[in-house]
C-alpha cells in the first residue's frame, strides 16, 4: 500500500513564493528554511490580524457597556420605550414624598395612582398617566424599579403581590407650597421658591391647576381647551413672559461689572419722567391718573428703587458696551437651555437675537420689554445667583431615592451650575435690591426714598431684598406683575446668608408692586411666622 503512494503521481501541492533557494536548484519541498520562512512570514500577518480584531471587539465592548449603563435611566424614560409597562406588571410604582416625609403620590396594589393633596402639587409632582409629567415622568425609572433585597422579593412572591418600587423624596416643602398656593389664589401665574445656597426647589406653584387624580377623564378637555387657561402648562418653568423691570437686575449687573464705581458716581436727573436719545424717547411709569412719575436727581440705588425707566434706558444706550452685555447675557443662560433637568422653556433676549439693534429697541431691552422673554424659573435663578455671591447653584427638586424599606439608593447633592457674576458685583446688586424693599432717608434731599416694594420695610423676622416688574404685553394696558427677591434672617445683618429666594409672576395681574409684592409678602410672612 505504501509503495503505491510513493509511486503514484505527485499530488498538487500548495505553491509558494520562490526565493533564492529555488534559483540554486533546490525544490521548495526540500527546503526547510523556505517552508519555515513562509510560515513565519504569514505568522506575523496572522498575529496582526488577530490583534487588530480583538482590539476592535474590546473597544466595541467597552463602548456599548458604558453607553448602556451610563444612559440607563435616560433610555428607559424615552417616550418610545414601552418597558415601563413591563415593569408595572411586576412592581408597584414607588411613592413620591415631600421633604418632610408626607406622601405626595402613592400607588395601591393594582398600581392605581393617588395624589392625596389633589391639585396642590399638580405641576411639580405631575402625573404618571398618559406618558407622565413632572417628577413622575422624570423619575420614572427609579419609581418603577424595585431594589428591595431578594428576601423581601421572595416574601412578595409568596403573598403574590407586586414588589414595591423605590421611593423618591423631593425637596418640596409642604407648608411653603401650600402658602404659595393659597397666596396666589385664583389668579393665573406662578410662584417658585428656592434655597440659593443649594439650589433646592422648595415650592413650585402654577395656576390655573388641575387634579392629577382622574387626569385621564379630563385629558381631552384640557388638551383641546382654547380658553387660554392651559392648565397643563407649568408656568413656573415652561411659561415665558417679558421680564419688565425685573430685567434691570441684569442691567445693573452689567453696569457694575463694567464700572464698579457707578454705585457711587452714577447720577441721573429724571426731569419730567422722559429720557430722550436722538429721536427716540422713553418715559417712566405712568400712574393710574395718566401722569408720568418724576424721579428728579437720583443715584443708582434710588433709580433702581424707583425702577426709573429713563435712568436705565440711559445706562443701556449710553454707558454699556453692547458686546460685553451680550456676553453677560449668554453667561446668564439667555438663548440657551437652562441648567435644569426637567422640561423648561428657553429664555430669549432681543439683544442676542438682533446683532444690529436700533436705539429704540435697545431702550426696550433696558426695561425688559420688546421681544425679551424669560421664565419665572430663569428669573429665580438670576436672583439666586445675586443672593449667593454670583454663584448659581443648579436648581433641583429630587433630594434622594431610597428603597421601599428606606435604604438610601442615591443622594442628589447640590451642584454649581456656574458663576453668573463676580462676588463684588453680586454684593452691590444685592444692596440695590435692598433699596427696593425699604424706605430710606436721603440726606441730600432730606426726603424718604420709597422703593417699589417698600411693603417689606417693616418685616420683623426677615430682611427682604427684591425687584418688582410690570411687563406690558399686547397693545392695550395689560401687564404681567413680577416680583423676584430673597430673604435673610432678621437676626443676621443685611449681609447675612440668604435663606429663601422667591419669584412671583401674576399673568395679566397689573402692576408688580400692587399685585406680586403682596403675594410674596404673604408667603414669606407666613413662613417666618408673622
Stretch that binds another protein, among 77-85, 370-378, 394-402, 416-424 (CB under 8 A): 77-85
What sign does the CA torsion over 112, 114, 118, 122 have? negative
Q: Indicate the residue among 86 and 490 with the shorter CB distance to another protein.
A: 86
**Does 447 participate in binding another protein (rule CB under 8 A)?**
no
Distance in angstroms between the alpha carbons of the first and the last residue of the chain: 116
CA distances from 135 to 41, 91, 141, 145, 394 (A): 64, 18, 11, 15, 16
- Rounded to an integer, what distance in angstroms lies between the CA atom of residue 309 and that of residue 363? 9
- CA 43-44-45 angle, to 5 degrees, is 90
Size of the site for another protein (CB under 8 A): 70
φ/ψ of 64, rounded to 5, equals -75, -30
Q: Indicate the residue among 40 and 223 with the shorter CB distance to another protein.
A: 40
- Rounded to an integer, what distance in angstroms lies between the CA atom of residue 56 and that of residue 48? 12
**Does 103 participate in binding another protein (rule CB under 8 A)?**
no
Among 163, 183, 164, 181, smallest CA distance to 172 is for 181
- Rounded to an integer, what distance in angstroms lies between the CA atom of residue 411 and that of residue 72? 17
Give the 3-state secondary structure of 101-155: CCEEEEECCCCCEECCCCCCCCCCCCCCCCCCCHHHHHCHHHHHCCCCCHHHHHH
Q: Indicate the residue among 154 and 490 with the shorter CB distance to another protein.
A: 154
**Does 55 participate in binding another protein (rule CB under 8 A)?**
no
Site for another protein in 134-163 (CB under 8 A): 153-154, 156-157, 160-161, 163
| Min CB(397)–another protein separation in Å | 24
Stretch that binds another protein, among 58-66, 319-327, 342-350, 494-502 (CB under 8 A): 58-66
Site for another protein in 482-511 (CB under 8 A): none
75: helix, strand or coil: helix
**Does 217 participate in binding another protein (rule CB under 8 A)?**
no
Stretch that binds another protein, among 7-15, 181-189, 218-226, 312-320 (CB under 8 A): 7-15
Helix 423-436 with 376-387: angle, nearest 10 deg: 110
| Min CB(93)–another protein separation in Å | 17
**Does 11 participate in binding another protein (rule CB under 8 A)?**
yes
| Min CB(69)–another protein separation in Å | 8
- Rounded to an integer, what distance in angstroms lies between the CA atom of residue 425 and that of residue 388? 11
Site for another protein in 163-202 (CB under 8 A): 163
- Rounded to an integer, what distance in angstroms lies between the CA atom of residue 303 and that of residue 371? 24
| Min CB(35)–another protein separation in Å | 5
Q: Indicate the residue among 26 and 99 with the shorter CB distance to another protein.
A: 26
506: helix, strand or coil: strand
Helix 322-331 with 248-258: angle, nearest 10 deg: 120
Long-range CB pairs of 71-80 (<8 Å, 24+ gap) are 72/141, 73/141, 73/142, 76/140, 76/141, 77/137, 77/138, 77/140, 77/141, 79/131
**Does 35 participate in binding another protein (rule CB under 8 A)?**
yes
| Min CB(145)–another protein separation in Å | 10
Site for another protein in 255-314 (CB under 8 A): none
- 477 class by beta-carbon count within 10 Å (0-12 exposed, 13-18 middle, 19+ buried): exposed
**Does 110 participate in binding another protein (rule CB under 8 A)?**
no
**Does 131 participate in binding another protein (rule CB under 8 A)?**
no
Site for another protein in 357-416 (CB under 8 A): none
* Sequence-distant (≥ 6) Cβ neighbours of residue 11 within 8 angstroms: none
| Min CB(32)–another protein separation in Å | 5
Using CB under 8 A, pick the residue from 7, 224, 226, 413 that binds another protein: 7
Stretch that binds another protein, among 42-50, 271-279, 399-407, 511-519 (CB under 8 A): 42-50
Q: Indicate the residue among 60 and 130 with the shorter CB distance to another protein.
A: 60
| Min CB(89)–another protein separation in Å | 9
Q: Indicate the residue among 63 and 264 with the shorter CB distance to another protein.
A: 63
CA distances from 32 to 10, 19, 184 (A): 19, 12, 96
Q: Indicate the residue among 46 and 408 with the shorter CB distance to another protein.
A: 46
Give me the residues that bind another protein (CB under 8 A), please.
2-3, 5-18, 21, 24, 26-33, 35-36, 38-43, 45-47, 49-50, 53-54, 56-57, 59-61, 63-65, 67-69, 71-72, 75-76, 78, 80-83, 86, 90, 153-154, 156-157, 160-161, 163
Amino acid at each position: 500500500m505504501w509503495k503505491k503512494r510513493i509511486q503514484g503521481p505527485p499530488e498538487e501541492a500548495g505553491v509558494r513564493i520562490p526565493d533564492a533557494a529555488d534559483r540554486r536548484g533546490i525544490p521548495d519541498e526540500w527546503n526547510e528554511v523556505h517552508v519555515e520562512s513562509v510560515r513565519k512570514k504569514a505568522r506575523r500577518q496572522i498575529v496582526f490580524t488577530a490583534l487588530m480584531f480583538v482590539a476592535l471587539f474590546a473597544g466595541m465592548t467597552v463602548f456599548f457597556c458604558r453607553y448602556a449603563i451610563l444612559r440607563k435611566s435616560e433610555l428607559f424614560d424615552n417616550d418610545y420605550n414601552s418597558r415601563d409597562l413591563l415593569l408595572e406588571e411586576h412592581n408597584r410604582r414607588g411613592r413620591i414624598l415631600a421633604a418632610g416625609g408626607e406622601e405626595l403620590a402613592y400607588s395601591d396594589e393594582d398600581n392605581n395612582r393617588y395624589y392625596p393633596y389633589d391639585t396642590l402639587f399638580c405641576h411639580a409632582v405631575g402625573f404618571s398617566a398618559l406618558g407622565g409629567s413632572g417628577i413622575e415622568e422624570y423619575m420614572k425609572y427609579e419609581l418603577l424599579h424595585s431594589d428591595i433585597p431578594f428576601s423581601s422579593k421572595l416574601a412578595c412572591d409568596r403573598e403574590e403581590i407586586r414588589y414595591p418600587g423605590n421611593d423618591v423624596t423631593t425637596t418640596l416643602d409642604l407648608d411653603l407650597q401650600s402658602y404659595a398656593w393659597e397666596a396666589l389664589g385664583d389668579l393665573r401665574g406662578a410662584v417658585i421658591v428656592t434655597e440659593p445656597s443649594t439650589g433646592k426647589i422648595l415650592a413650585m406653584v402654577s395656576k390655573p391647576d388641575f387634579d392629577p387624580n382622574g387626569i385621564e377623564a379630563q385629558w381631552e378637555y384640557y388638551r383641546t381647551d382654547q380658553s387660554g387657561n392651559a392648565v397643563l402648562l407649568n408656568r413656573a418653568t415652561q411659561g415665558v413672559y417679558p421680564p419688565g423691570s425685573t430685567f434691570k437686575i441684569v442691567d445693573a449687573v452689567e453696569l457694575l461689572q463694567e464700572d464698579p464705581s457707578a454705585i457711587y458716581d452714577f447720577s441721573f436727573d429724571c426731569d419730567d419722567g422722559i429720557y430722550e436719545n436722538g429721536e427716540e424717547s422713553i418715559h417712566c411709569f405712568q400712574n393710574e391718573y395718566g401722569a408720568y412719575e418724576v424721579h428728579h436727581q437720583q443715584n443708582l440705588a434710588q433709580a433702581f428703587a424707583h425702577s426709573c425707566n429713563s435712568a436705565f434706558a440711559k445706562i443701556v444706550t449710553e454707558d454699556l458696551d453692547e458686546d460685553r452685555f451680550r456676553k453677560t447675557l449668554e453667561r446668564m443662560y439667555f438663548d440657551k437651555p437652562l441648567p435644569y433637568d426637567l422640561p423648561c422653556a428657553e429664555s430669549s433676549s432681543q439683544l442676542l437675537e438682533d446683532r444690529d439693534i436700533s436705539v429704540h429697541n435697545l431702550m426696550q431691552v433696558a426695561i425688559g420689554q420688546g421681544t425679551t422673554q424669560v421664565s419665572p424659573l430663569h428669573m429665580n435663578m438670576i436672583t439666586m445667583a445675586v443672593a449667593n455671591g454670583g454663584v448659581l447653584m443648579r436648581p433641583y427638586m429630587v433630594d434622594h431615592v431610597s428603597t421601599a424599606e428606606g435604604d438610601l439608593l442615591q443622594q442628589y447633592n447640590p451642584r454649581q451650575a456656574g458663576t453668573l457674576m463676580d462676588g463684588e458685583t453680586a454684593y452691590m446688586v444685592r444692596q440695590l435690591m435692598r433699596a427696593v424693599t425699604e424706605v430710606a432717608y436721603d440726606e441730600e434731599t432730606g426726603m424718604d426714598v420709597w422703593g417699589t416694594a417698600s411693603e417689606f420695610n417693616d418685616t420683623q423676622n426677615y430682611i427682604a431684598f427684591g425687584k418688582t416688574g410690570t411687563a406690558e404685553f399686547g397693545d392695550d394696558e395689560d401687564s404681567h406683575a413680577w416680583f423676584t427677591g430673597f430673604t435673610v434672617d432678621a437676626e443676621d445683618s443685611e449681609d447675612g446668608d440668604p435663606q429663601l429666594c422667591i419669584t412671583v409672576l401674576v399673568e395679566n395681574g397689573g402692576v408688580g408692586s400692587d399685585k406680586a409684592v403682596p403675594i410674596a409678602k404673604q408667603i414669606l410672612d407666613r413662613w417666618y411666622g408673622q
